Structure 1
Amino acid sequence: MKKVIRAVRYGAVALASLAALTACSFQAAAPALPVPQVGALGQVVGSSPPPIANSMGQVQVFGGPTTGTLALPTNHSAAPSIQLQAVNNPQIGTYVTDSAGMTLYRSAADSTNPPQSTCNGNCAATFPPLVVGSSAKIYTAGVNASSVGYVQRSDGTYQVTINGSPMYYYWQDQQPGQINGQGVANNWSTVSPTGGNAASGQSSRGQSSGRQSAGGQSSGGAGSAPVEGRPNELTVYEGANFGGEFTDLEGSFSDFSTVDLNDKITSITNNTGKDVCFWTDANFQASEVKVPAGVTVAQLSQPFDDKISSEKQC
């Protein structure tokens, strides 16, 4: 039988913004093209074949959108063709997606001069790189084609860059338009059409008015819950974007109803140094989602949002 070690409940969390990350470039950015008017993250389709604006080996970059429909790999493997397109979001402004509307990100830890990715191993599982085949075609819509290139990763694949910044996806973005990777670890940001940060890489920091044990007895004092998580803790939140009441967990929980968390968890930070798995049913049954070490989840996707009932390391 798994023993429940500890669960500590905290009060409501308020959101606040941190300072903006500084965008870097390996060359002067070319003037941005006008952002096309597109609807609901749909693929931009051109009316005439676009000109070739840039070539690197057999990879061709086109100065305009494709005239056909692009089918992208579902597992983030090398794409034979990709389109980088600019879309608008009232929260963060103009940012870059692929042709399916999936958000792209950049890392402040990467080098842009020369372009180099520092995200490998577990990091690349959390933020999969946007890679293309050795003879890929890269189309652009609202992104200056002359700023588009690639960098060869340590595994030999070709990762797309904008103005020197390697491009990534985020594993918790399951639908077009989601921006769950924005501000993760104060390092990751959505991408502007010129390759910089589309927004400030916001993270949230909360203050609680009190602290309670799982048994409901107040222990007094004040707690805080930065979006990157409490040190060495697995922290779960009842609201999206690390809002609402939050609880630090230690050990495995075969049934969250014992700590009044059943079907209440919406966002998670994992600073335990270990991968943790959650299940929608008690006793580690039904649907499973893994939260790797060092990962923050701003909004669980379905069927996990407000449906989690058990948890343990995996």
Structure 2
Amino acid sequence: MKKTIVLKMFAAAAVMVTGGIVLSPAASASSSPCPHNRICIFENAGFHGGHKSYNRGTDVLTFNTLEQVFSDRVLTNDKISSVINNTNRRITFYSEAGCKGRYLRIPPYTQVRDLNRYHFNDTISSLRG
């Protein structure tokens, strides 16, 4: 086997074992409804519905607080359906509070139009930005 194939197989196995999903930069897009150096979350797929944005480097240990609401005043916990990472840093969303549980890593400058594609729709409870 070629070395690159073996490395790809090893990386895929590591993701399955740890319970996480790591997106590749191929999921990125050039135009963005999210300001530069911001992490944006949306209530609905396709970047619709209520929204909220965070500075680069922000950690949210739980989305289950009164401060964590979308622009339409709906609590964000377990209600996020699309996200944009418009920063130069990799960010990670978690299924449990305290940055625990299953995770979804999003590379810099990447848009995810529908988290359902990654089995993460309406399951996000914390963020490491």
TM-score, with length taken from structure 1: 0.29
Q: Which residue of 2 aligns with 1:65?
A: none
Q: Does 1:185 align with 2:1?
A: no
Q: Does 1:284 align with 2:129?
A: no
Q: Does 1:312 align with 2:119?
A: no
The percentage of counterpart residues that share the same residue type is 25
Q: Which residue of 2 aligns with 1:126?
A: 25
The answer (yes or no) to whether the contact 2:25–2:108 under 8 Å persists in 1 is no
Question: Where is the helix percentage greater, Structure 1 or Structure 2?
Answer: 2
Q: Which residue of 2 aligns with 1:257?
A: 64
Q: Which residue of 1 aligns with 2:112?
A: 297
* Structure 1 CA distance for aligned equivalents of residues 50 and 76 of structure 2: 10
Shift of 1:276: 0.3
Q: What SS is found at the alignment partner of 1:241?
A: coil
Q: What SS is found at the alignment partner of 1:262?
A: coil
Q: How many residues align?
A: 100
Shift of 1:76: 7.5
Letter in 1 for 2:123: K
Counterparts of 1:160-239 in structure 2, within 5 Å, are: 170=27, 184-186=29-31, 226-227=32-33, 229-239=34-44
RCO comparison, higher one (Cα < 8 Å, 6+): 2
TM-score, with length taken from structure 2: 0.68
Structure 2 gaps of 5+ residues are 10-23, 69-74
CA RMSD of aligned residues (A): 2.4
Shift of 1:303: 2.9
- 1:214-263 Cα shifts (integer Å, max 9, x gaps): xxxxxxxxxxxx43x21211010011111011101231001001212100
- 1:72-113 Cα shifts (integer Å, max 9, x gaps): x9x978xxxxxxxxxxxxxxxxxxxxxxxxxxxxxxxxxxxx
* Structure 2 CA distance for aligned equivalents of residues 291 and 264 of structure 1: 18
Structure 1 gaps of 5+ residues are 1-72, 78-124, 128-169, 171-180, 187-225
- 1:12-32 Cα shifts (integer Å, max 9, x gaps): xxxxxxxxxxxxxxxxxxxxx
Shift of 1:291: 0.9
